[in-house]
Amino acid sequence: MADIVIVAYRPKPGQAEALVKLAAGHVPTLRRLGLATDRPAMVMTNKDGVIVEVFEWADSGIAKAHQTPEVQEMWARYAAACDYIPLRELPEAAEMFAEFKPVNV
């Protein structure tokens, strides 16, 4: 069964641009490897510059991603550019209608 995920990335100092570039290639790479579905993905930012991404894993995609060297390399670049944070840390998460700005990737 496929799962839709929402993930938040807080850029490390000086890494905001690098993070946006990573986000631009993230889901396309996962799709190419058969790990994400064709459901439209969304990349957005909050008022503090945190990047939020919404996408759908293919069936067993997350498990396979953990065994795919290309994905592991990409995740290492993410680790250098950002910190993964829980959605509850976003001020917008406390709002009834959380508002974000689209990121053109």
Digit-coded pLDDT (tens) for 1-40:
679 999 999 999 999 999 999 999 999 999 999 999 999 9
Backbone angles phi, psi at 79, to 5 degrees: -60, -35
| Alpha-carbon dihedral sign for residues 36, 7, 49, 39 | positive
Considering the four listed CATH numbers 3.30.70.100, 3.30.420.40, 3.40.50.11440, 2.40.30.30, the one that applies to the domain covering 3-102 is 3.30.70.100
What is this structure's pTM? 0.91
CA-CA distance, 97 to 104, in Å (whole number)?
22
